[in-house]
Structure 1
Amino acid sequence: MNRPIHVALIGYGFAGRVFHAPIIQNVPGLRLVTVASSKPEKVKSDWPDLWVSESIEEVINHSELDLVVIATPNATHFDLARRALQAGKHVVVDKPFTILASEARALASLAAERGKVLSVYQNRRWDGDFLTLRKLVLQGVLGEVVYLESHFDRYRPEVQNRWRDQAGPGSGLWYDLGPHLADQALELFGMPQAVYADIAQQRYQAQAPDYFHVLLRYPRLRVVLHASALVPGGSPRFVVHGTEASFASRGLDGQEALLKQGLRPGQEGWSPALSEGWLYRPDQAAEPVPMEPGDYRRFYEGVRDAIRQEGPNPVPPEQAVRLMEVLEAAIESANEHREIPLGVNG
């Protein structure tokens, strides 16, 4: 493919506006051609040169488009991805991939049958703090990791009038932040033996889960995934203990904050703040850890290369399926108040 890959973005809410459009437009070899949105004036104010359509069907079936990116409410992901694959398009789906693991497996099969790239936007694999942690683990700096605590806490006491906070399939914090935290754990350690989850509504007038505390059990390792909307003072992002050292980090990758401000990668002023990290060794003072720079463009660079058959899919369907199996098992665990085995790792 000599020309740029022509991209259609479906959905221009928070995810489409902040995490997809500005990243796509700043990856060489990709060209955002159109956005399908029910609010075309909003798109035009940000991207006056784009073709904007209110018809998803028109966009999915357009012959000049190569890649369809789905950034719509979670409950619509399966149907839209299925329709785009059937129309012969490569597809990126914002997390969570689907609502059910069975839907994830069906899409993976369809993509393989049609010979199309299907990927899931797990952008927080390219957060600087996670890249730093991954480097420490792979280099063996911590020894054997026996405990990891991954927090994504916020203070949002008021329930917003948006679909993520309303009752319904795919809403709530576990489907919002859970895919990030669980995906990072699976990237580092693979599938756990079992999952135990506590998922709750804690805010006044909450209609969807706004708290989760999930334990992933491995043979020796224990991974805790935690998020809450009622944490005024914040908490460490990562706390990791190994047989030789511990690592802790605080603060979030600065890319999201700049994207919310309307800045785009490579523009003047694009300098994301780095998290702070420390390494703790026995009987030694804490050492500051140089943090890796994050870069969400690397996901779409990987998608570009996969479409061109020049590199691997950055988040292949089989990884997306296993993540959905963990997310689904956690919901089953919370509903039944018991540990759910996953039948792996012995």
Structure 2
Amino acid sequence: MGKIIKAGVCSYGMSGQVFHAPFLHVNPGFEFAAVVERSKHLAQQRYPDVKVYTSVADMLADKSLDLIIVNTPNATHFDYAKAALEAGKNVIVEKPFTVHSEQGKELVALAKQKGLLLSVYHNRRYDSDYKMVRHVVQSGLLGDILEVEIHYDRFKDELSYKKHKEVAQPGTGALYDLGSHLIDQALSLFGMPEALWADIRNIRSTSVVDDYFELVLYYNNLRVRLKCNYLVREALPAYVLHGRKGSFIKTKSDIQEALLLKGLLPDASDWGAEAPAEWGLLHTEIDGEIVKKFLPGSNGNYMDYFQGIYEALVNGAPVPVQPEDAIKVIRVIETAFESSKARKVVDM
């Protein structure tokens, strides 16, 4: 057996339970070795061999750990990631990378100085729906892409039980939370925009953080609209793409989160497979013929990210999500708040 990467997870809330621990546990290249839980010992109930610390500082002092996953509230990402790097640990930071882009640059410089891996967990790159959208864009099935709309909507008027998400402070709100996913997907597909316009609002009756946004990213011959609304009972398709040749429409259909919330481990051969009812509709022209058909979905799998981290640490492969990409996401968020406040288009 090859090298085993011993990983510590900074918290065991939903992020730790659903998006990190199961993948560390199943992948033979990792050991879910340590976790921070201040009062409960939920992790040990499922993973008896995991060592529990009551503070991040105590866990960072564990010399046996190779990798630290910073999955704490957004406002703490910078401080904990910096402390982990200074302790000589390789680091994965949950999205959003940092609250301010300058903080991200400082972490990148520190990781390079220390010769350590630094990556950001933009896991929605590995959703089945986004993977199909990326295939359609890259294959040229629609010709030149002219207009794209990406939604991440939900219906939830009540505030989150996670109190830190509902406090009016830098790093909270829908744009940092769900917007990070949409922006990362847009930038992964089309690069940085030339300019953007944004409308960011609070619409839930008792909310003090943004829970609605619309961003328009301006490219040369392309406009990309990113939308999120917490009060959408009947959701529109998550992806709508129009090109010179045709259109592609896709629901938000990745099932991994739902499976993980049920306690299933990501080790099945058909993990992340889409139901045929969720396949995307392609309506375009191919070789002079008009084609209208549903494209079979690909499997989503967040394990591809963790395997990429393993390959980067052990075999020197490229880091699956570069921190520089995540800094660009934060730059877009910062510019969006500037645009919304000024009610104008802002050059990037």
Residues 1:239 and 2:245 aligned together? no
**Per-residue deviation, 1:268:** 9.0
SS for the counterpart of 1:31 is strand
Taking the TM superposition and a 5 Å limit, the aligned residue runs for 1:90-169 are 90-162=90-162, 163-169=164-170
* Amino acid in the other structure paired with 1:229: Y
Partners of 1:103 and 1:85 lie apart in 2 by 13
* One-letter code aligned to 2:111: A
Q: What are the Cα deviations for residues 147-195 of structure 1, in whole angstroms up to 9, with x where unaligned?
A: 1100011111112232212322211111111110000001011100011
Percent same amino acid at aligned positions? 39
Aligned residue among 299, 324, 329 for 1:293: 299
Which of 277, 280, 283 is the matching residue for 2:280?
277
* Range with greater deviation from structure 2 (74-83 or 134-143): 134-143
Question: 1:106-159 CA distances to partner (integer Å, 9 max, x unpaired)?
Answer: 111111111111000000000011111111111111111111100011111112
Give the Cα–Cα distance (whole angstroms) in 2 for the partners of residues 161 and 19 of structure 1.
19
Paired residue for 1:306? 312
Task: Name the residue aligned to 2:227.
Answer: 226
Once structures 1 and 2 are overlaid, which stretch shifts more, 95-104 or 261-270?
261-270
Q: How many angstroms apart in 1 are the aligned matches of 2:324 and 2:219?
A: 20
Aligned to 1:78: 78
Matched residue type, 1:323 = V
Task: Work out whether residues 196 and 334 of structure 1, in 8 Å CA contact, stay in contact via their aligned partners in 2.
Answer: yes
**In the comparison of the two structures, how many residue pairs are matched?**
342
CA contact (8 A) 2:194 2:217 kept: yes
Is 1:320–2:326 an aligned residue pair? yes
Find the residue that maps to 1:177 and give its secondary structure. Answer: helix
Structure 2 vs 1, CA of residues 264 and 289 (structure 1 numbering), >3 Å: closer, same or farther? same
Q: Aligned residue for 2:335?
A: 329
Equivalent residue of 2:120, what SS?
Answer: strand
Structure 1 residue 269, shift from structure 2 partner = 8.9
1:285 to 1:174, Cα distance in 2 relative to 1, 3 A: same
Counterpart in the other structure of 1:194: 195
Q: CA RMSD in A?
A: 1.7
Once residues 46 and 170 of structure 2 are traced to their aligned partners in structure 1, the CA distance between those partners, rounded to angstroms, is 31
CA contact (8 A) 2:9 2:35 kept: yes
Change beyond 3 A, Cα 1:153–1:101? same
> Unaligned stretches of 5+ in structure 1?
none
Q: Give CA-to-partner distance per residue, 1:297-343, whole Å, 9 cap, x none.
A: 0111111111113311001121111111111111111122122211x
SS at match of 2:41: helix
Decide whether the 8 Å contact of 1:40 with 1:54 is kept in 2.
Answer: no
TM-score norm. by structure 2 comes to 0.94
TM-score by length of 1: 0.95
The separation in 1 between residues aligned to 2:35 and 2:144, in whole angstroms, is 46
Please, which runs of 5 or more residues in structure 2 have no aligned partner? none
Question: CA contact under 8 A between 1:165 and 1:172: conserved in structure 2?
Answer: yes
**How many Å separate the matches in 2 of 1:178 and 1:38?**
30
Separation of aligned partners in 1, 2:269 and 2:38: 31
Aligned-partner Cα distance in 1 for 2:256–2:140? 28
Deviation at 1:2, TM superposition (A): 4.1
Once structures 1 and 2 are overlaid, which stretch shifts more, 198-207 or 267-276? Answer: 267-276
Contact 2:53 2:59 in 1 (8 A): yes
Q: Is the 8 A contact 1:6 1:67 kept in 2?
A: yes
**Structure 1 CA distance, aligned partners of 2:320 and 2:63?**
25
1:263–1:269 Cα contact (<8 Å) kept: no
Q: Distance in 2 between matches of 1:160 and 1:312?
A: 36
The match for 1:208 is: 209
Deviation at 1:25, TM superposition (A): 1.5
Q: Which amino acid aligns with 2:104?
A: A
Q: CA deviation at 1:264?
A: 1.0
Q: Residues 269 and 322 from structure 1, CA distance in 2 versus in 1: closer, same or farther, beyond 3 angstroms?
A: closer
